[in-house]
Chains A and B, each alone.
Chain A
Amino acid sequence: MTWLPVLPVVVPLAMAVFMALTTRFGSEHRVKGIIGGLLHATVSTLLFATVAHQGTIETRLGSFPRPFTIFFEATPASAGLVALMSWVVTAALVVATATMDRPRLRRGFHSIAQVVLAAASGALLSGDLFNLFVWFELMLTASFVLVTLGSTPAQLASGFKYLLISLMASVFFLCACGLAYGWYGNLDLAKIAELQSSFSGPGPNMIGGLALVALAIKSAMFPMYAWLPDAYTAPPPGIAALLAAVSTKVAAFALLRIGTALFPPAGGLWFDILVWAGAATTIAGALAAIAINDVRRRLAFLLASQMGTVLVAIGLQSASVVVLLIAHEMVAMAGLFFAVAALGRTGSSPVARLAVGGGFLVCALAVAGIPPTSGFVAKFAFVQAGLLAENPLAVGAVLLSSLLSLFALLQAWQSTAHESEKSGAKLGWTVPAVCAATAALTLAGGLLAGPAVSGLKETVQGEVLR
């Protein structure tokens, strides 16, 4: 079964090629795109089921010995995140297909979305530093295409800033890769982690610092998150939902793994810095969100704020909390963006309105960490870890930010609930159904959290998360 971890990368790439080959003038690839999402969801769920059943699968590409080869590593955490992401992205594809205009679909939305899926899966599964860089490059390029798809002035402006800042991150990332190879002699994250403890000096510190800056930009750390709110509001809501579910989350997971490998263990300098930078991000994002009236922009800032919480958790070195937070935010933030995409377009059907408004409310409560949602479980885990690490200030900062988020989100919900009563053009049942399903998933994530938590505990205790 060692070929399984490669499938989440290969299948969407093949799908993208297939779409490109079958393109006629004006092809929208609606059905193919969603089938592609479902295929990816199927293989990644299969992967997750296998990993959950048999334990970590390690795939050495070309069967060359480690640490000289690229290898994919499907742990319960990484495979779980891939599976969850693929379902959320599939939902986003449905929403995007239903809400987006035809010209954008004709410009290749669905093929690019498949590329995003492939890149994100690769970035979650790969255990090789340079290979991770490649997947991040691919994700950046594809995300840039999605942000500018449609070429409106707002999209071009935000796309340009996104590209510029992200390319700087790439430069730092590449430098880190090169220097890490120079210092450790290979790019295998696990091997690097082993070698880590035997060296001292400024080399490892600076390599870790470069990787930190690169991934901090990509996971929206204050004050370098400026690209995010524009990039997530200029494109249509369907695209924003897709990006919200993927890019920052993948970057945070990579930061967890790379940080655990590259950051020198002695002193935990970068981890301490992450705690404070994350605390600043989570509060700054939530504060900025309060000042903004536009719902989508407010959500974008809240997303940055949420990422701050994840950064704090990475800084506290509690891997299971990080994974819980990422998984929860993937679903809950996407759910909010889905509901916004459907806003004012639900028609007069009370059920559709309830699905959209209720979906927004449930996801909003999840983001604010109100039980019994997935957000509560994640926050609960965070508070336990933070107090166990004897870092009450970090806990306080995150709790304060979740209070500010609650305020921002309740107001946003009220305005959307108010708006959805002015029934606009009808959307059909798909988008409300997706909203309801996402909300249900968020609730299930809270109510059925037991297995997830115990699975992650195994992950952390084993050799899996590095």
Chain B
Amino acid sequence: MNFDLTSLQPLLVLSCLALILGGAAAVRPRVAEGISWGLAAVSALMAVVIGLTPLGTRASVPWIPDWSVEWSLHITGLSRLFGLVVCGMGTFVFAYASRYLRDYERRGECIGLLAAFMVSMLGVVLAADLVTLFVAWELTSVTSFLLIGIERERESARRAAVQAFVVTGAGALAMLAGFVMIYQVAGTWRLDQIPDLSSHPSTPWIVGLVALGAMAKSAQVPFQFWLPSAMEAPTPVSAYLHSATMVKAGVFLLLTLGPILGKSLAWTPILATVGCLTALAGAHLAWQADDLKRILAGTTVSSLGLMVALVGLSKQLATGAVLVFLLGHCLYKGALFMVAGNFTFISGEKKASRLSGLGRAYPLLWASALVAELGLAGFGPVLAFVGKEVAFKAAPLSMLIALAVASPMLVACAWRLAFAPFLGPTPTGARPLPLAMLLPPVLLGAMSLAGGFAPTAIQSWLIDPVVGPGLKRFSVIPELDAALLATLLALGVGIWLALKTRPTNAVTLAERAYGSVVAWLRQTGESVRATTQDKPVRKRVLTVILVATTVLAIGFLADPSMVWPDLQLPTVPVLLVATLIFGGAVATVFAPTRISGIVSLGVTGLGLALLFLLMGAPDLAMTQLTVEIVTVVIFVLVFHHLPRIGYHATRSIRMRDAVAALVLAGFLTLALLSVTGRPDLARSAEFYAANSMPLALGKNVVNTIIVDFRAMDTLGEITVLAAAALGVTSLFGKSLAHKEEA
């Protein structure tokens, strides 16, 4: 096979391979461990391929040509960096998961979904147009939903899964609207062809909508609460989706759209504010938590806030800082999640405060934890520190203040996780740690250190293609300036905080707000349901009558320029017949028994038949008469078996119904009059009358209409009768209720 690196073929083949392996794991959980190693290898290979593919490569397949929508992928500096993160972290996570999930009941499903997620996430970061990006974006939400709720027998897991999907889905809907607006302004979905829209009048809306999408996905205030809840998922999932990759999709989106929207007036205020608030909220969340993974989730939220705030600055230096910090964050946070998973594996504990004494038995684990904590604390020769230093240089004073408040809390978390679990006497009953679970965090730590010592290599290979040349070379040696001072201060205050305070495990405001929104929705839904469903039949009919009356009234009032028909005083016989019809109707309403009611209705029918006779339609009159007689006879026969009639409605209710019925009847009459008053027009009837003999060979026009001109109507109507007959025979059958209960 010819591997052509200038197209994206090898990557697509590898993606398919990953999906097939994932499917195999889901179907055959017994071999999931081996498959997981296979997936680790595949994702490593994918990382290599992404690294080797030249920038600017693009491939596309048409999807919906009429909307100029296509599936398209490309490799740019940004997508290469993110693609490397996705596949690189994938390698570590699959390697770790192979052993971590060995005894897990749903390991096959979990590995399979992780593979599906990896491919979807790759779709997000490699997407070359907005639609492909959106589709992949939603697919990551779907896989995330399935992974969070994988232990579906637990209520909390189910709830967290729905919460994560609904919150990110809400953002995605806004984002979709934003994307469509971009298309309608720019005329293209292609990311490389959309011009700078910053000065377009609808851009503030677009920025708002797109920012909502990014904020929901990247757990920004006020959506941050879903991320800690998502920690219900197994640890490899948390490490991969909910710290390293998926939650960074929002940051990715903002970085992608920065060149298009970044100079809009709305961009910086929204993102910088939200980002700073998130950095604070996340740090606070982490500082208050005791559950290992919730601590990490909080710190992730905080870091995402920092990244979003920096993207919001829309400056070259800030963007460079985001990218370095993002790489560093993946390395240390991935390692931390794995360390946390290892803690739980060894001791069965999920609370940070209950861990102690693991340092002597697991020195390598401690070492990797320490390196990772350096990243979390934002100090020392690690890549995250380099990023943070640059960020501090890029940030304006107000942002610095927010960061200065957030940092000590993060340092406190780092301190708590770095020392307390490892110091003290070795606990009994700790399990040995398999190499497959120890190596990934160690290697990640090593990479973190390597990156810290050689940031310029990363800068020239990964960062410069994104932000362009001309950025000052990054260095791990901090300059003696305010930024370093702030870092040192945060370090001191943080350690003091760690020693002096205890986690409170408070439920956050946003989390409670989500709960009450859901409760409110159910409540409102119940009352909406009740407005239509808990009504007696009488009210349902009334509803229909009221709606019809309203519609007719609107129709009349919209254009009341009515031409009144030239009404003549009716002749005496017509007047008599009309009295008969009207009298019958009134008598039906006031009938004391069913029999008298049906007889009165019969009188109305009789009157109609007479009217037809007077109008010169004897066959209609005959039909009407027959129908009336048969109906009355059948009704009488049936009613004989029914109980006495009972009026449940009070007098006022009946008055109300009468008024409603009369008003509707009035409007229907008005409609009839308005139709009668219109200028004359050629009618089908004339055609039928003229052509009854020549075309249909019949003298009786009514007959030819029924069986020839409009025979299809007749076919339909007699089938109605047949169906009704079938229905009646079925109704005569016994109730099958008892069978269903059995």
Q: What residues of chain A have their CB less than 8 Å away from a CB belonging to chain B?
A: 13, 20, 61-62, 64, 67-70, 101, 103-104, 107-108, 111-112, 115, 118-119, 122, 126, 130-131, 134-135, 137-138, 141-142, 144-145, 148-154, 156, 160-161, 164-165, 168-169, 172, 175, 179, 181-187, 195, 199-203, 205-210, 212-213, 216-217, 222-227, 229-230, 264, 267, 269, 273, 284, 287-292, 301, 350, 365, 368, 370-372, 376-377, 379-381, 383-384, 387-388, 392, 395-396, 399-400, 402-404, 406-407, 410-411, 414, 417-418, 447, 449-450, 453-454, 457
Contacts and interface: CB of A to CB of B under 8 A. Distances in A.
A151 B559 contact: no
B135 interface: yes
B659 interface: no
A103 B676 contact: no
Given A206-B674, A213-B547, A223-B532, A450 B552 contact: no
B726 A112 contact: yes
A138 B552 contact: no
B507 interface: no
Nearest to A277: B547
> Interface centre among A68, A216, A396, by most B CB within 10 Å?
A68
A173 to B, nearest CB: 11
B558 A269 contact: yes
Nearest to B181: A387
Contacts, number: 326
Interface string B513-547: 00000000111111011011101010011011101
Contact of A13 (B551, B672, B675, B719): B719
Contacts of A449: 63-64
B729 interface: yes
B547 A223 contact: yes
Contacts of B727: 112, 141, 144-145, 148
Rank and list the top 3 A-B pairs by shortest CB-CB distance, nearest first. A291-B525, A145-B727, A134-B716
B551 A135 contact: no
B736 A101 contact: yes
B737 A182 contact: no
Interface of B: 27, 62-67, 131, 134-135, 138-139, 141-142, 145, 149, 152-153, 158, 161-162, 165-166, 169-170, 173-174, 176-177, 180-181, 183-184, 521-526, 528-529, 531-533, 535, 537, 540-541, 543-545, 547-548, 551-552, 554-556, 558-563, 667-668, 670-672, 674-678, 681-684, 687-688, 691, 695, 708-713, 715-717, 719-720, 722-724, 726-727, 729-731, 733-737, 739-740
Contact of A101 (B134, B180, B739): B739
B712 A131 contact: yes
Nearest to A351: B27
A104 B535 CA distance: 30
A130 B709 CA distance: 13
Contacts of A284: 528, 532
Given A206-B555, A287-B528, A371-B138, A131 B543 contact: no
A183 B523 CA distance: 48
Contacts of A115: 719, 722-723
A450 B174 CA distance: 24
Contacts of A269: 554-555, 558
Contact of A201 (B678, B715, B731, B735): B678
A399 B372 CA distance: 42
A202 B166 contact: no
A287 B521 contact: yes
Nearest to A284: B528
Contacts of A403: 166, 169-170, 173
A172 B184 contact: no
27 contacts: A64-B691, A103-B733, A118-B719, A119-B719, A134-B716, A141-B720, A141-B727, A151-B736, A152-B737, A153-B737, A156-B731, A165-B541, A187-B684, A205-B558, A212-B551, A213-B551, A225-B532, A287-B524, A288-B529, A292-B525, A370-B169, A372-B139, A376-B135, A383-B177, A410-B165, A418-B152, A450-B64
A264 B558 CA distance: 11
A153 B735 contact: yes
A379 B521 CA distance: 23
A201 B554 CA distance: 13
Given A175-B668, A186-B683, A205 B543 contact: no
A269 B550 CA distance: 13
B554 A209 contact: yes
A138 B63 contact: no
A68 B688 contact: yes
Given A141-B727, A201-B674, A202-B562, A288 B525 contact: yes
Contacts of A111: 726
A226 B67 contact: no
A454 B161 contact: no
Nearest to A418: B152
Contacts of A153: 735, 737
A165 B540 contact: yes
Nearest to B545: A168
B152 A417 contact: yes
A424 to B, nearest CB: 14
Contacts of A454: 65-66
A3 to B, nearest CB: 13
Contact of B532 (A148, A183, A222, A381): A222
Contacts of B169: 368, 370, 403, 406
Given A175-B668, A182-B675, A450-B65, 10 more contacts: A68-B684, A108-B730, A115-B722, A141-B723, A148-B727, A201-B563, A209-B555, A210-B551, A288-B533, A407-B166
Contacts of B677: 203
Contact of A387 (B184, B526, B559, B724): B184
Nearest to B713: A134
B206 to A, nearest CB: 11
A70 to B, nearest CB: 5
> Interface centre among A108, A287, A289, A449, by most B CB within 10 Å?
A287
Contacts of A203: 562, 671, 674-675, 677-678
Contact of B547 (A181, A224, A287): A224
B14 to A, nearest CB: 20
B736 A202 contact: no
A229 B688 CA distance: 44
A206 B66 contact: no
A201 B717 contact: no
A370 B708 contact: no
Contacts of B734: 151
B555 A399 contact: no
Contacts of B524: 287, 291
Given A182-B676, A205-B559, A450-B63, A145 B736 contact: no
Contact of A64 (B552, B667, B695): B695
Contact of A217 (B152, B544, B555, B712): B544
Contacts of A208: 555
B367 to A, nearest CB: 42
Given A103-B739, A199-B678, A202-B560, A301 B730 contact: no
B723 A267 contact: no
Contacts of B737: 152-154
Given A213-B547, A453-B67, A119 B716 contact: yes
A387 B177 contact: yes
A64 B705 CA distance: 12
Contact of B541 (A135, A168, A201, A387): A168
A1 B688 CA distance: 27
A121 to B, nearest CB: 11
A190 B552 CA distance: 24
A200 B736 contact: no
Contacts of B555: 202, 205-206, 208-209, 269
Contacts of B540: 161, 164-165, 226-227
B710 A70 contact: yes
Contacts of A206: 552, 555-556, 667, 670-671, 674
Contacts of A149: 730
B736 A410 contact: no
